[in-house]
Amino acid sequence: MMKKAIGILIAAAMILSLSLTAVAATGDVMVNGHIGTSGDPSTYDITYTTAVHWWVTQAAPTTVVDGDSIGPNPSMVNKIENNNTATQIKVSLNSFNLINGDATDSTLQSYLTLFLTGDLAADSVDAIELSAGYGGTTDYTALLNGGAGNEWTYGFTGTYGAPTLTTRYAPQYTMNLGFAFA
């Protein structure tokens, strides 16, 4: 009788372990962290232009101008807004990465100079030449205050020194900005 009871217990344990093994799976766990006392900002609430375009065309064959997906557009303004009116945000330029083959093309890079303009060009960042990419951390000492009236604007300028525009390039980049509460 004792052997039978032990056998039943072992069989039940094996069945239980099999069912647990069959149910077990990996997955993502959401972890929420909060630093600060109640009422302090705990998250950045920032909106900014997600698609930014610049152009060099036959009409201005040596000049980088701002635009949209269709073409040059001088009324296009790229914006960054701090929606948290209770605090200021410190912004940094952390990287400017070359994504596609056109951006990394050595012929394009030999003719192109590319610089930031507007509020993102503060603190001599407008002197950083971006056509070959950039990695580092350049902090802006000017603080981004909260509210739509304080939004930062930015764009691009530069030159394209090719003697003629015989090759069509469509370089793409990612610009990484860092945000920290001031």
pLDDT tens digits, one per residue of 141-157: 889 999 999 999 999 99
> Among 18-32, 48-62, 85-99, which stretch is predicted with the lowest mean pLDDT?
18-32
Domains of the chain, residue spans: 46-181
Q: Which runs of E-coded beta strand occur in the chain?
A: 46-48, 53-57, 60-67, 78-82, 89-98, 112-118, 134-139, 152-160, 173-181
Instruction: Decide: helix, strand or coil at residue 139.
Output: strand
CATH 2.60.40: does it fit domain 46-181? yes
115 CB-near residues (< 8 Å, 6+ apart): 121, 126, 127, 128, 129, 130, 156, 157, 158
Within 10 angstroms of residue 85's Cβ, the number of other Cβ atoms is: 13
Q: What is the pLDDT of residue 137?
A: 81
Q: First CA to last CA across the chain, in angstroms?
A: 75
What mean pLDDT comes out for the span 49-65? 89
Question: Residue 130: is its pLDDT beyond 90?
Answer: yes
pLDDT digits (tens, 9 = 90+) for 1-30: 555 555 554 555 555 454 444 445 556 776
> Is 172 in contact with 138 (CB distance < 8 Å)?
no
What's the residue count for the chain? Answer: 182
pLDDT score recorded for residue 7: 53
Q: How many CB atoms lie within 10 A of CB 83?
A: 12
Here the tokens at position 44 are 């950045």
What per-residue confidence (pLDDT) applies to 161? 93
The two tokens of residue 63 are 């000049």
Q: What is the pLDDT of residue 180?
A: 86
Mean pLDDT on 71-92: 90
What is the pTM (predicted TM-score) of this model? 0.74
